[in-house]
Amino acid sequence: MLPIRLRDFVVDPDGWIYAVSTYDNENEVGCVLRYIPESGGERTGPSGQQYRKYDFEDAYARIAREKPAYAGLVQRIPLGDLRQVLKPDLEIARIASSHSRVRRLLELFSLPQGAVGCTGSLLCGLENESSDIDMVVYGTDWFFAQAKVRRGIAEGRIEGMSPEMWRRVYEKRKPDISYEVFVLHEQRKWNRGQIDGTYFDILYTRSYDNLTGAGAGKGENLGKVTIEATVTDASLAFDNPAVYIIDHESVSRVLSFTHTYSGQALTGETIEACGILEQHGPEQWLIVGTTREAKGEYIVSKTLLES
């Protein structure tokens, strides 16, 4: 079996569906509950089974109450408990065959088989009329897709983000930065847009040959700090967690576990970052996104703000 990666989905013996949220899945899968079969649920699967979609807090409460063996920072499901694994890269043809907007995005990206997929509700067959499109692009091919999004918007093949859509994203993420600062950073990421009025984003996931050492366990909490540093490597800035290698007197890297601050700075830029400092072996890492909404935590590019 291919390794289970970030943005895959898995199904447990009771048919509960989880989004994979980690790379270290050799013995048990790190994931978050998303859908449970329930009569009267607002989503309907291909077989007619109804499902309820769970938000973050309700998912953790349900797991703690009914499946405490899976409970933790993320849910951890032993490989032997899995009934099914859904992979965006393997299911993309099925999804595109019945979804014209996904087909158009695939034509825009023009990437080789295995380099792109579709995750979220479309992967699970539980989309509705308001569902966004969550495209996944693997490894360095992500940067080719990013360039195609930028070019596609410039050429009018796809739509840029409207002010109303930017406001919707901002209010959904509730970042600890102003709306103006949020949009200034987001507009240069070229990782989202609209197609026939439907919102889409392109999500980075590591390629199968780059999974070694991708896990990021919890370190010793050294307290909350704010630092300023120069980014020396932002090649994994769109991963989850986003990784920024920095030049700083005591901190070696900044990690963001919230999508809000992925791709927030480029190599060579100066950042200001506020989060929880952790000890990881001989290194100190600054962690942003230690809570769901990352209240009081942020990353901004001072270089961008001052330009």
Tens digits of per-residue pLDDT, 35-67? 999 999 999 999 999 999 999 999 999 999 999
Confirm if 293 and 251 have CB atoms less than 8 A apart.
no
To the question of domain 220-306 being in CATH 2.40.50.140, the answer is yes
CATH 3.30.460-classified regions of the chain: 88-208
Q: What is the pLDDT of residues 293-307, one digit of tens each?
A: 778 999 999 999 998
Which of 290, 305, 206, 303 has its CA nearest to residue 256? Answer: 290
Confirm if 139 and 206 have CB atoms less than 8 A apart.
yes
Confirm if 278 and 222 have CB atoms less than 8 A apart.
yes
CA 57 – CA 49 distance, rounded (Å):
24
What pLDDT tens digit does each residue of the chain (307 aa) get? Answer: 799 999 999 999 999 999 999 999 999 999 999 999 999 999 999 999 999 999 999 999 999 999 999 999 899 999 999 999 999 999 999 999 999 999 999 999 999 999 999 999 999 999 988 899 999 999 999 999 999 999 999 999 999 999 998 999 999 888 999 999 999 999 999 999 999 889 999 999 999 998 877 666 788 999 999 999 999 999 999 999 999 999 999 999 999 999 999 999 999 999 999 999 999 999 999 999 877 777 899 999 999 999 8
Instruction: Pull the structure tokens for residue 160.
Output: 């840029």
Q: What percent of the residues of the chain are helix, what percent strand, and what percent coil, each to the nearest 5?
A: 30, 35, 40
CATH 2.40.50.140-classified regions of the chain: 220-306
Say if residue 69 is exposed, middle or buried (CB neighbours under 10 Å; 0-12, 13-18, 19+): exposed
Q: Give the per-residue pLDDT at 295.
A: 86
Task: Kindly report whether the global pTM for this prediction surpasses the value 0.75.
Answer: yes
Q: Which CATH number fits domain 88-208: 2.20.28, 3.90.660, 1.10.3470, 3.30.460?
A: 3.30.460
Confirm if 192 and 203 have CB atoms less than 8 A apart.
no
User: Which string of DSSP letters, residue by residue, matches 125-171?
Assistant: T---TT--EEEEEETTHHHHHHHHHHHHHHTTSSB---HHHHHHHHH
